Structure 1
């Protein structure tokens, strides 16, 4: 099964109580956050699963980052974010692939979905129009914006495309801090059900 998550920011102390906690994450320390993520990740993910990390996995690529990523189950695919360097070969080896953009097909209840994966939100993407009557549904998954004012602005734009211009499309932020992701990888069925699509 495929799973999706973004913006873990492992070893970036400003996403927890050790720093300025700009995300308002519910963790006092980085250690607490890492233990929570690892526990929930490995409880859910098997080594047969594919996990697509849509950028900003780790703030640093040191021994601690390499060790942490190596303990996470699944085949890990990294979609590059603005904080991903991947210059250390030992770190890069933790991933099946490291790419800036990816398209993935999924089949759910006999219906095909094409998922457009990037760290950054895209205004217009490949196969954007959501069509009906057994034609593929195309969904853009992204990160980068966290739970910010920029996220609200972007989602307002997507709503305008749907409601004012009748360009039916779906774009969803899979940042780990989003309430429907809650620091664990989610499959597309979970993402769709949580968002009442």
Structure 2
């Protein structure tokens, strides 16, 4: 599901041919340079989840950390970091996944969650869903469940939101872009 917010959408900068030719990168840094826009983004998520029943917030490396940490603080929930391979210092669980550009591994501290925990997942963007799907698999391996996957941006043509929904994971995004949107 996408929340309609034209003000937020107008502050997401398209970067043509990054990180490779033919790709339009959706840069969220202008949102964070505008206190009003950041407040609007944070408030939209806080209002959606303030009365929801989940125990933890999971944030994806690295841009998911930005919004996930704000929401964890505001909702007084523990924050679980899902990191790129080799970034966490203690015992980890790892999950391989395909990105738009190749193969990667996502890791989480093995003691981050317990059976019965419920996690609201955050990332900046849902494209193919690879990162979030890897995180969902890690959460499930720890005996926990995913409450919902949330992001600022959805790129529905790449199918990530649909893949998550097919896994039984509801999704929520503040805005979306077609691949051809500039």
TM normalised by structure 1 equals 0.33
Higher gyration radius (CA) = 1
Larger helix proportion of the pair: 2
Larger strand proportion of the pair: 2
